[in-house]
Amino acid sequence: MLDLIIIGAGPAGITAAIYAARKKMNFVIISRDVGGQTAWSGGVENYTGYQFIPGIELVAKFEEHMKTFAVPLHEGESVQELMRQRDMFVVRTDKTEYQARTVIVASGKQSRELGVPGEKEFRNKGLTYCATCDGPLFANKDVAVIGGGNSALDAALQLMRIARRVYLINIAAELTGDSAIAEKLKNASNVAIYNNARITSVNGAQMVAGITVQKAALVDFLPVQGVFVEIGLIPSAEFIRDVRKNEYGEIMVNCKSETDVPGLFAAGDVTDVPAKQIIVAAGEGAKAALSAFHYVAIHSF
């Protein structure tokens, strides 16, 4: 019987693990990977102490810090179900089962899909959800970025330095992401912005060869070799049902990172905390771990 299970190893989960280790809690951290969305970021300019650091390097710093405490990380495991049974929690993964007195859900978010013909067929065959991970594979090629928010603008900014041409397909009338980045893209010679447009299919044979785009009554075919889907994220909380969530599927928490289930805490982008930032997620992870420690300390089991 563990004191704590932490689900997720992004900024929130890693910070929670460091605090739990410092409190000498008996715990494990379970995650498919390490870093979460931070690993996808091309550059981070707003994390205190770093004027600029690539996302993957910041993740390495987090992981290095975690390893100094010999944190028991179970990487490569996917949580299938989280249930409360009497005075404990049961976490079932694709590999085994765990029991603990408390749980912190810090599972973050996952990419939203387009839902158009060709998306599933060409996934990892020219279609991807991570410009930071896969952008270098498309050097001197024509690519399309789907979306108009911050994630899409960040992807387009990275790709315009790598690809030959970048098409930015935005369903809204104007780009909704950071205005400074939007201005850079508008002034870039190799970026074409399609507002009020939507992708209707991904086309090709063995690999992506183009996309079909509709803008009002006009339908256009853009010959591209890469498609980067950046239309937002959805909370990775499908494995837990008996907890209060908002209309977006985010787990609702109070200022102590408590959910409406005693002993169950949540932190980071999986929650309804409004600011989805790396530094906010890390702070929420620290709060969740301290709250979990307090819960274990005051309850007799």
> Is 130 considered catalytic here?
yes
Cα 178 to Cα 154: distance, rounded to the nearest angstrom: 9
According to DSSP, the residues that pair with 93 across neighbouring strands are: 79
Given the residues 130, 142, 178, 272, select the one marked as catalytic. 130
> Is 255 considered catalytic here?
no
Given the residues 3, 134, 154, 269, select the one marked as catalytic. 134
Q: Interior CA angle at 191 toward 278 and 115, to 5°?
A: 65
Compute CA 173 distance to the chain's CA centroid, rounded to the nearest angstrom. Answer: 26
Given the residues 133, 220, 242, 260, select the one marked as catalytic. 133
> Is 133 considered catalytic here?
yes
Residue 137: phi and psi, rounded to 5, are -70, -15
- The helix or strand, by DSSP H or E, that contains position 291, with its residue range, turns out to be helix 278-298
According to DSSP, the residues that pair with 203 across neighbouring strands are: 210
Output the 3-class SS for 80-138: EEEEEECCEEEEEECCCEEEEEEEEECCCEEECCCCCCCCCCCECCCEECCHHHHHHHH
Cα 221 to Cα 210: distance, rounded to the nearest angstrom: 7
Cα 215 to Cα 226: distance, rounded to the nearest angstrom: 20
For residue 248, the SS3 value is coil
Active site residues: 130, 133-134
